[in-house]
Each structure stands twice: as C-alpha cells, then as structure tokens.
Amino acid sequence: MDFQLNSKTQAQCSIHFFSKKGNKFHFCSCASPMAKSDIQKAKAKTDDKVSFGEVFFYRLPSGDSHQLLVGTGEGGNLSAEQLRQLTGFIYKRLQAEKVTSASLSLAAVPMKDKAHAVQALTEGFEMSAYRFETFKAKPMDYDLKLNFNTNATNAKLKKSMEEGKIVAEGVNLTRWLGDCPGNFMTPTQLAEEAKKSAKGTKMKVTVWDKARIAKEKMDSLIGVSNGSAEEPRFIIMEYKGAAASKKPICFVGKGLTFDCGGISIKPSAGMEEMKFDMCGGGAVIGAMATIARLKLKVNAIAFVPASENMPGPAANKPGDIRKARNGKSIEINNTDAEGRLILADALCYASEKKPAWIVDAATLTGAMVIALGNTHTGFYTRDNKMRDTMNKAADDCGEWVWQMPLTDYHTKDMVGFYADLTNLAPNRQAGSATAAAFLESFVEKGIPWVHCDVAGTAWHAGNRLEYAPKKGASGAMVRTFVQLAKNHK
Ligand code: BES
Ligand code: MN
Ligand code: ZN
C-alpha cells in the first residue's frame, strides 16, 4: 500500500467514522442502484444501533467520490487497537468494491493523539493488505492508495506514518515466512531470508551450518536435525543502535521449519499446519528487521535455531540422551517435544552474551492452545519486573498477552531419570508450564527471562483480529518485541 499526508487529494472514496451518538450521516439521494440495499439497511438503523466495524458503502456517479462509513460503536474516543481493527473492516470492503484510492480526514478520526492515530491506521491498513500469493500463477491485481487529509502536515505525523508502515511490514514479513511451505522455507532458506531482511540496515547476520553447530557443542539441536535430509542452521542477528557499553537485549525464536514429530510421529490430520512451527523464529526475524529499519537506540541480538523434525534413519529415538551446550544431559522421551531441545542450546548461547534480558518466542505446546486459544499469547517469567515490562509493551502496541504460572513444581516434573533432565513431563498436566520449566534450566541464573508460547496465536487469528488473515500466519508478537526494544532504557 501507498500512504500520503496531504491537505487535498482526489480519491475515489472518502472514509468516515460514525457512532451511536455521534455524527449523524446524511444519506445521499444520488447513490447508484448498486448500493441501494446498503442504503436501505442503513436507513433502517437508528443511530443507536450501529455496531463497531459495520460498514456502509455508497457508490456515487462519476465525478463524486464514493462514501464509506464505518461504525465505531459507542462513539467517543477510540484506542489505537480499535483503529487498527477498523482498518480491517474498511480494507475488505474497499477491496470488494475495487476502490484503489481512498482518503480519510485526520481531524475526524476519533482519537486525540493524531500522530498515534496515523501510526495505528497505517499499521492496520498495511497489515490488512497482506496476501500470500508467492506460489500463485496469477496474483490478485489490487492495491490501495490512502491519503490522510490534514492541514497540519508536519514532520511528526510523517514520521508516525512511516513508522506504522515499517512495523506492519515487519509483521507481514513474519507472516510470509510462516506461510511459505516447508519444502521451500527450510532452515537454509530461513537463514537466507534473515540475511535478506538485514539489507540496507546496520544489522549483521551470521549463519552457522551443521558442522559449526556441532563444533559449538549444540548437541541438542544436532539431535533434532539428524532425522532430516535438511541441514540445521543457527541464525545470529546483531544490531547496534546504542553505545557499545550498553548491554544488549536478546531475542530467541524457535525456527522449526517442519514438525512431523520425528519418530514419535504426529497424526496426519492437520499436520500441514506444522509448517508454522517456525513462527517464533519468524517473529524474532521480523522484529529484528523492524528494529534495525527504525534505527532504534538499543543494542539487540537474536538467535534462531532452525531445523526440521523428521523421522529419518539417524533421527533421535525415544530414550536417546543428548548433551546441551551448558553440559546438561537430556533424555528424549518424546521426539515430538523437539522445540525445547533446539531452544535449549540457543538459550545457553544467549546467556553467554550477558544480555539485559532474554525474551523467547516458540510455538511450543499444544497445551498452550488449549489453555488460551488464539486470543492471548501466554508468557512465563519468574521476574516481576520483566512481567511488567512485557505487559506494558504488549499494552502499548495493542497485542494481548497473559502471564502463566511457572513454579518449582513444574521444574521438578522435568528432572530426568537416566539424565539430568527429561524433555517429557510425567503427565499431561500444565504441559505448557512444564515446557517453560525445561527451557528455564538453560537460562543462566540472574538473567531476566521471558518465554512466550505462541502456539495458539501464531496462525489463524483472523477470527479475532480483523487485520489478520483468516487463514495463515498472524505475525503475533512482532509488534510487542519491537515495542520492548522501543521501551528499553
Ligand atoms: N510444535 C508443537 C506444538 C504445537 C502443537 C503447536 C499444536 C501448535 C499446535 C511441538 O513441537 C509439540 O509437538 N509439542 C508436543 C509436546 C509433547 C510431546 C510434550 C505437544 O504439545 O503435544
Ligand atoms: Mn513437536
Ligand atoms: Zn514443534
């Protein structure tokens, strides 16, 4: 999409917000027959019946711009996230009506902070415009230009608009990485894409191959990758936006490009969704690219262990024992609990960098999906300051997160019989918490750490998020991670 800030622009359609109590719309008598049913519907509604996201479209004869009305519900001021949601409703209708240019009066946007409003609207529209068509012979021929009508065209508004676009492009990159099929988005390809995402920025990307990973004593990651014809990769992204003396913030993401379960193979129904098992790593790559493009004044590093989980002849077998980088041994009692295995080595390595904190994202457990569905990303931490930092970042950017409990009881469940640790808890209770407890044993004590289980939120979130695709990767946590970097002092 293309965005502009201008006092006057000729657009095919102008967009208006209307609410229960607010600006009563005067229906045009000149609307074409095409929109008649909509007009009838709208007229039948009294002002107090209009609901949030309800859209009316009036197609006017040539020369006049068409009118799109979107309901804001109760009226009054909206939150930035409500604006983002509204863009989803608006975009879909404009696309259906084949409108390619639209304008929106900034003064009439029901939000006081106009810079914030511009950012939220730009973000929302750009996210709504995402389509995954890489593998289609004929991509849809549709693009929308949007003008924010304002007399107060100033640097601050322009900066907000640009920032909104960059953040949304980060989200869309993460979605694209997730939507790509497993046969294309292999660990090698994921590493290539991480490199590409750094082009034109100050970010440095280093990629380790299987030999280097083995040399670095990441035997837990090696074990998972052994079942596959595809080599693993360890992706390192480094961005320096602050003084060298400042401790870096650190992201870690699960980059499991296809998870069939390995020898503990998954049932076939729905297995195709396991191409999304790299969405945590994808979110980390999208967030790092965004942090670098926004030139945030922070030092940030990221690690994405990338692997397939397949049942090839050299695959991990139930009962196998592997040793992670920090020397802890792990008995593998279920090869399908592989995310924690590849993250273990990455968390060890991240700890060695002595970061200010570590935040990881992983599509780690089915139990998370059962616990929170696709509304909230569940997060785990024992550090109350980090809990507040996470909650604030998510709140600031409009994403939903929910803290989950992590206690010594969960830790106890992950003590091994033949080795230091087991990758499988003795029962299915609190499966997402025991997974978090397992990860915790690879984070050096004293480093504030948060684990985000995005299993429920990383894809198919469109039933709640109007600006996300109904089917496909959502880009969950990219905005929160960027916000964490923005808020970091
Ligand atoms: N990638 C899956 C988790 C997952 C499942 C995410 C369904 C989204 C939807 C992970 O590697 C896995 O298989 N976890 C197992 C762990 C179990 C064997 C302890 C699970 O959750 O069933
Ligand atoms: Mn698995
Ligand atoms: Zn997995």
Helices (H), ranges, 311-430: 339-352, 366-372, 384-397, 408-413
Q: For 26, phi and psi rounded to 5 degrees? A: -90, 115
Contact 449/440 with Cβ under 8 angstroms? Answer: yes
Q: How close is the Cα of 365 to the center of ligand 1, in Å?
A: 4
Q: How close is the Cα of 316 to the center of ligand 2, in Å?
A: 12
Q: In the predicted model, is pLDDT for residue 139 greater than 60?
A: yes
Q: pLDDT above 70 covers what percent of the chain?
A: 93
What pLDDT, in 10s, does the model give residues 276-312?
999 999 999 999 999 999 999 999 999 999 999 999 9
Query: For the purposes of burial, counting CB atoms within 10 Å of the CB of 54, is it exposed (0-12), middle (13-18) or buried (19 or more)?
Result: middle
Q: How close is the Cα of 340 to the center of ligand 1, in Å?
A: 10
Per-residue CA distances from 101 to 4, 11, 60, 168 (Å): 11, 5, 15, 20
Identity at 410, one-letter amino acid code: H
Under the banding of pLDDT at 50, 70 and 90, the label for residue 45 is: low
If DSSP codes are grouped into helix, strand and coil, which group holds residue 394?
helix
- Calculate mean pLDDT across residues 25-32: 42
What pLDDT, in 10s, does the model give residues 118-127?
999 999 999 9
- Mutating to test ligand 1, I would choose from 271, 310, 336 the residue with most ligand atoms within 8 A of its C-beta, which is 336
Per-residue CA distances from 149 to 14, 78, 108 (Å): 10, 19, 10
Q: Return mean pLDDT, the chain.
A: 94
Q: Is 366 in the pocket of ligand 1 (CB under 6 A)?
A: yes
| For the chain, domain boundaries | 2-148, 167-487
Per-residue CA distances from 321 to 210, 316, 334 (Å): 19, 9, 11
Q: How close is the Cα of 437 to the center of ligand 2, in Å?
A: 17
CA distance 161 to 141: 25
Q: Is 307 in the pocket of ligand 1 (CB under 6 A)?
A: no
* CATH code that applies to domain 167-487: 3.40.630.10
Which two three-digit tokens encode residue 114? 């106009």
Rounded to two decimals, the pTM is 0.96
Q: In the predicted model, is pLDDT for residue 67 greater than 70?
A: yes
Q: Which CATH architecture has domain 2-148?
A: 3-Layer(aba) Sandwich (3.40)
The pLDDT value recorded for residue 34 is: 41
- Calculate mean pLDDT across residues 157-166: 98
Q: For 315, phi and psi rounded to 5 degrees? A: -60, 155
CB atoms within 10 A of CB 26: 6
Q: In the predicted model, is pLDDT for residue 384 greater than 60?
A: yes
Q: In the predicted model, is pLDDT for residue 175 greater than 50?
A: yes
- Minimum CA distance residue for ligand 1 atom 18: 337
Pairing of strands 401-403, 299-309: unpaired
End-to-end alpha-carbon separation of the chain, Å?
A: 33
User: What CA dihedral angle connects 332, 333, 337 and 342, to 10 degrees?
Assistant: 0
The pLDDT value recorded for residue 39 is: 52
Per-residue CA distances from 342 to 151, 174, 305, 336, 383 (Å): 53, 20, 6, 12, 23
Helices 279-293 and 478-487, axial angle in degrees (round to 10)? 40
- Calculate mean pLDDT across residues 236-244: 98
How many CA atoms lie within 13 Å of 239's alpha carbon, on the beta-carbon side? 32
Q: In the predicted model, is pLDDT for residue 32 greater than 70?
A: no
Per-residue CA distances from 62 to 32, 59, 68, 122, 481 (Å): 10, 9, 16, 28, 46
Q: In the predicted model, is pLDDT for residue 414 greater than 60?
A: yes
Q: Is 424 in the pocket of ligand 1 (CB under 6 A)?
A: yes
Residues annotated as catalytic are 266, 340
Q: Is 399 in the pocket of ligand 1 (CB under 6 A)?
A: no
User: Which atom of ligand 1 is the closest one to the Cα of 458?
Assistant: 8
CA distance 246 to 466: 39
Q: pLDDT above 90 covers what percent of the chain?
A: 87
Pairing of strands 204-208, 233-240: antiparallel
- Calculate mean pLDDT across residues 68-78: 87
The pLDDT value recorded for residue 73 is: 83
Q: In the predicted model, is pLDDT for residue 44 greater than 60?
A: no
Smallest-distance ligand from the CA of 453: 1
The pLDDT value recorded for residue 22 is: 54
Concatenated DSSP letters for 245-290? Answer: TSPPEEEEE-EEEEE--TTSPPPSTTGGGGGGGGHHHHHHHHHHHH
The dihedral region occupied by 477, where left means phi > 0, alpha psi between -120 and 50, and beta the remainder, is left
- To 5 degrees, how large is the angle CA 427–CA 432–CA 434? 55
CA distance 89 to 467: 8
CA distance 456 to 359: 18
The pLDDT value recorded for residue 30 is: 38
Contact 88/467 with Cβ under 8 angstroms? Answer: yes
What pLDDT, in 10s, does the model give residues 339-366?
999 999 999 999 999 999 999 999 999 9
CA distance 407 to 405: 6
The pLDDT value recorded for residue 50 is: 77
Q: In the predicted model, is pLDDT for residue 28 greater than 80?
A: no
What pLDDT, in 10s, does the model give residues 450-478?
999 999 999 999 999 999 999 999 999 99
Helices 431-440 and 339-352, axial angle in degrees (round to 10)? 30
Which two three-digit tokens encode residue 288? 């790092």
Under the banding of pLDDT at 50, 70 and 90, the label for residue 236 is: very high
